[in-house]
Structure 1
Amino acid sequence: MEKILLEVQQSEEAQRIDKLLTLKIEKLSRNFIQGLFENESIKVNDKFVKSKYKVKVGDKIEVDIPEAEELRVEPEDIPLNIIYEDEDVVVINKPQGMVVHPAPGNYNGTLVNALLYHCKDLSGINGVIRPGIVHRIDKDTSGVLVVAKNDNAHNHLAAQFKEHSIKREYYALVEGRIKKEGGVINAPIGRHVNDRLKFAVVKEGKHAVTHYEVLEVYGGYSLVKCRLETGRTHQIRVHMSFIGHPLVGDTVYGLKKQKMAQTGQVLHAKTLGFIHPKTNEYIEFDSELPENFKRLLEKLRKI
């Protein structure tokens, strides 16, 4: 068991202890820290406290982190929409609501669980939790992504992602009428200064560029096509919010009270193009907008 000892400084006074620990111990997620409180693994001045406890200057915090359990991800017979498959790669059209890979507290029902059932081989570069996963899209983002079936394919694809040579286009429904036909958002993205679970445009962030094109404009909404030049976490969601047009359904970076009832952001990874790791030929895949996305657009066109 690992033990971490901390003492609260003047600048940290009156913060909730769970938020403080998320900032101070970056290797632990907030969900994991919440679990430590539930298991009475966190003390302040030798007494167990709740996650909402507000710290005081001089408080001595003791965090006991249990030994990591051996992780085992089980194959599950979950239907997959496979666009293309060969001995090196499999291209999937992921539905909205499916998590790409397991994480603490969520080891079932993910794309990886489904892949382990449907594929005999997946690259092992990312270990037990993320076999074959070269890139990700958010749980509530639907659309196309490629999975590597062996290490050679994984390395080849990973190099293309690093070089930003892979074509990735998304369709997004955003708040407000965008008056321009399109534009380029060149703004660095990093962790939010006040909320480590979020990302934001920050001066010290990583280089991030999104190209967008307005496809349709409705009453108070716009349909845009976004092409990623870089691939930062939540990039489209952060960038569109940054220019004042957050994604419909995005309660993290957009409107807290949504005008339309949506489960998650209206964002679809529509096109993916890359050099095949074995043939060295460029191949491109396109996925149809999901039915809920199409129905929403049809509704807006009638307004």
Structure 2
Amino acid sequence: MSDVRSLPVPDGLEGERVDAALARLFGLSRGRAADIIAAGDVLLDGKEVAKSDRVTGGSWLEVTLPPPPSAPVPVAEPVPGMGILYEDDDIVVVNKPIGVAAHPTVGWTGKTVLGGLLGAGHTIATSGASERQGIVHRLDANTTGAMVVAKSETAYSRLKRAFKERRIDKRYQALVQGHPDPFRGTVDAPIDRHPSHDGRFAVVAGGKPSVTHYDTVEAFRAATLLDVDLETGRTHQIRVHMAAIRHPIVGDMAYGADPTLAARLGLKRQWLHAVRLGFEHPAHGEWVEFESPYPDDLARALEIVAAES
């Protein structure tokens, strides 16, 4: 059933585009907000609007929100290339391959870590929403590396708390364009959805606090290999922060990477890999660490950039 909302436009949204205002008021993506506007389901002072129109503080907004899409269901199916780094009765640590999402989401039609584990007969915790049971953290679909999934309910609750309290050591390596100055540093900049590009994120005033620490592993002629430590875990955080300091991740065209360099290195995605994951084991409390080797495409690209230096 549709949900009709009527409210005055807050003064803080004065001058915003209608689609941006809707996105902020109702927690929608810009694309979904634009679809609602295009359907004629948004009235401003009683008149239909275009998505690029501007709102005025105090104007009366009437919005008919469509029912939310039903939650997708995990499809139990094998995921080629997804290895198991470690497994016991409480956790399974996977080596996530390229092109695989952590769990099903609306609009995603590809394979998932959760579906792959279920398809291989692994028992997964039932805690959490049905489409992401057992999932305590995520990697982007095109980011590879170590990822832990909870098998027991105790593991789920304890790992979720550990991630929330930042008691997890998540280490990534990223090959970025150019040479960051300083070679070791911290990017402390808030992140939120990009104001004009649906599906992307950006450094935005008033966004969620986001902190990324980086250190140089090796500098090459055209790029630098960084070791990255996340203090927070925002969506696309490393990609956004590297782009913000004008050193986008090699191959990450969505965030400004050079397509010519990516093609020369044979990359069809960002050079970003979750190399190490450490945490207190949820059952016995001892510290455990797991490492993931570079996948073939990243290893080959690194060999080429090194040979050109």
What letter matches 1:183 in structure 2? Answer: R
Partner of 2:302: 297
1:1-150 matches, within 5 Å, as 1-5=2-6, 15=17, 17-26=18-27, 28-36=28-36, 40=39, 42-44=41-43, 52=51, 54-55=53-54, 62-68=62-68, 70-79=70-79, 80-106=82-108, 109-150=111-152
Q: 1:86 to 1:61 in 2, by over 3 A?
A: same
Q: 1:302 to 1:97 in 2, by over 3 A?
A: same
What letter matches 2:301 in structure 1? Answer: L
Q: 1:150 to 1:107 in 2, by over 3 A?
A: farther
The structure 2 residue matched to 1:200, chosen from 200, 203, 225, is: 203
Give the Å deviation of 1:8. Answer: 6.7
CA contact (8 A) 1:81 1:93 kept: yes
Distance 1:60 1:115 in 2: 49
What letter matches 2:240 in structure 1? Answer: V
Distance 1:226 1:139 in 2: 19
What letter matches 1:64 in structure 2? Answer: T
TM-score w.r.t. structure 1 length? 0.82
SS in 2 for 1:158: helix
5+ residue gaps, structure 1: none
TM-score w.r.t. structure 2 length? 0.81
Q: 1:41 to 1:102 in 2, by over 3 A?
A: farther
5+ residue gaps, structure 2: none
| Greater alpha carbon shift after TM alignment, 150-159 vs 252-261 | 252-261
CA contact (8 A) 1:248 1:258 kept: no
Partner of 1:266: 271
Give the length in aligned residue pairs.
297
| Greater alpha carbon shift after TM alignment, 72-81 vs 190-199 | 190-199
CA contact (8 A) 2:98 2:142 kept: yes
Q: Once the two structures are aligned, what percentage of the paired residues are identical? A: 35
Q: 1:118 to 1:30 in 2, by over 3 A?
A: farther
Q: 1:96 to 1:6 in 2, by over 3 A?
A: farther
Distance 2:238 2:95 in 1: 19
SS in 2 for 1:129: helix
1:154-233 matches, within 5 Å, as 154-178=156-180, 180=182, 182-191=183-192, 194-195=195-196, 197-200=200-203, 202=205, 205-206=208-209, 208-233=210-235
Q: 1:248 to 1:201 in 2, by over 3 A?
A: farther
Deviations 1:171-206 (A, max 9, x none): 1010112465x4230514232673585131646642
The structure 2 residue matched to 1:287, chosen from 275, 287, 292, is: 292
